[in-house]
Amino acid sequence: MKVIMKNLGEKYEGRENFTLRNINLEIDDQDFCVILGPSGCGKTTLLRMIAGLNSITEGDLYFDERRVNTIPPKDRDIAMVFQSYALYPHMTVYDNMAFSLVMRKERKKLIDERVKEAAKLLQIEEYLYAKPADISGGQRQRVALGRAIVRNPSVFLMDEPLSNLDAKLREHMRVELVRLHKSLGTTSIYVTHDQTEAMTMATKIILLDDGKIQQVGKPEEFYNKPENIFVARFIGSPTINIIKGKYKGGKFVSETDTIALTPSKEDAEYLKDFEGKEISIGIRPERFESGGEFGDTFEATIDVIEMLGKEKTLFATLKDGSDLVISTPGHYDYKEGETHTFGFDIKAIHYFDSETGERINR
Ligand code: ATP
């Protein structure tokens, strides 16, 4: 099922301003759409509007061609999974999963089939007769998913469902959720503040900040073509380096002249109108070149090295005292305290208008 939002807005009672405004979006059938953004940006508000748990102040919400603004949650054909799992503690796993179907007065045989099928899919058959308190956090999360799956909804809505799990389990459940989505094909909308979850799971990411959409697209578009500095900083770990400067005589020159960079031919076309203006460059930590034998180079002193195994993160300082983060393969032999020459992969430079923060080389 498609979920379409036209000029959606939410203004909570007693609040002076709109929490969300001008939300125009189309989530396609079978999409795994991740709503991403920092705390307080309005992610949960948007999800609750789609679920029917929040009233819609302005705009229209459609499920395919059907306008659902005033349709109550139980008639929207959705299933929601919360961060807190919200399982009934006195019921077995089986009864928790069966609950919504029992309430719908489905036949016992059908309920039994659905619960067992979901349990098999989620590999929780062994625990069907345990109580929530007797199983682990990861297993409880699966039960919460199972409870949503048995309803066979047209849309799954998930609000930070993995945030109570430890890092290893979260990584595992990410893959499980993607597998599950591939096998069920149900349109899913998933809220998180974790860019890794968005990058690894989404077919479509919606990045919100301050109640506004910053960018909509595929994960690789966010990484390779962030539309503004906020997006560039939000996606990618370690965080992208943003260096302020000017565009002078066909070159980018940093504020203190420590870095000078000649753009690629393609980028120079976009930069034509920016001669003499303040611009910023963004360069991801892994797009520096060690040694920098060709093109523009600069020197940086390595203060701290974080060894992550397959890669090393170098926290370095430029001559003017500003910070720079550089990622290198783990086997490269850098030491703290050393000064080295680095270059740029000039095809990987993001140029931004310093005034608006908007991307220049589209
Ligand atoms: P988090 O990741 O911290 O959960 P979020 O992006 O999901 O944040 P929301 O929970 O949607 O953000 O909240 C967005 C804004 O709306 C916040 O400023 C919050 O205080 C406000 N808000 C949320 N619910 C209500 C409510 N029921 N009444 C009034 N204001 C609310």
Residue 222 has pLDDT above 90, yes or no: yes
* CA-nearest residue, atom 14 of ligand 1: 42
- Cα 193 to middle of ligand 1, angstroms: 13
Would you place residue 54 in the very low, low, confident or very high pLDDT band (cuts 50, 70, 90)? very high
On the question of pLDDT at 20 being above 70, the answer is yes
| Contact 43 CB / ligand 1 (< 6 Å) | yes
Spatial distance between the Cα atoms of 253 and 257, rounded to a whole number of angstroms = 6
Is 40 a pocket residue for ligand 1 (Cβ < 6 Å)? yes
C-alpha distance from residue 252 to each of 206, 347, 352 (Å):
31, 14, 11
Tell me if 18 CB under 6 Å of ligand 1: no
Distance 7 CA to ligand 1 centre (A): 19
Percentage of residues in the chain having pLDDT higher than 90: 84
Q: For ligand 1, is residue 192 a contact (CB within 6 Å)?
A: no
Mean pLDDT of 8-22: 94
Give the tokens for residue 209: 């900040």
Contact 9, 211 (CB under 8 A): no
> Which region among 19-23, 273-277, 293-297 has the lowest average model confidence (pLDDT)?
293-297
Copy the structure tokens of residue 285: 């930590």
For residue 312, what pLDDT is reported? 96
- E strand map for 42-119: 58-63, 66-67, 78-81
Q: What's the CA gap between 149 and 180, in Å, rounded?
A: 10
For residues 145 and 85, give the distance between their C-alpha atoms in angstroms, rounded to a whole number.
8
CA–CA gap between residue 146 and residue 169 (Å, rounded): 17
Question: Which residue of 45, 49, 80, 213 sits with most ligand 1 atoms within 8 Å of its CB, as the best mutation to test the pocket?
Answer: 45
Between CA 1 and CA 76 the distance in angstroms is 11
Nearest protein Cα to ligand 1, atom 17: 40
The answer to whether 23 and 9 are in contact (CB under 8 A) is yes
Report pTM: 0.91
Question: Is 27 in contact with 189 (CB distance < 8 Å)?
Answer: yes
pLDDT tens per residue across span 311-328: 999 999 999 999 999 999
**% of residues, the chain, pLDDT over 70:** 99
pLDDT for 287 equals: 95
d(CA 212, ligand 1 centre) in Å: 14
Average pLDDT over residues 88-105: 94
Average pLDDT over residues 333-343: 95
User: Which pLDDT score, from 0 to 100, does residue 292 have?
Assistant: 66
Ligand 1 nearest-atom number relative to CA 14: 29
**pLDDT averaged over every residue in the chain:** 94
Say yes or no to pLDDT of 228 above 80: yes
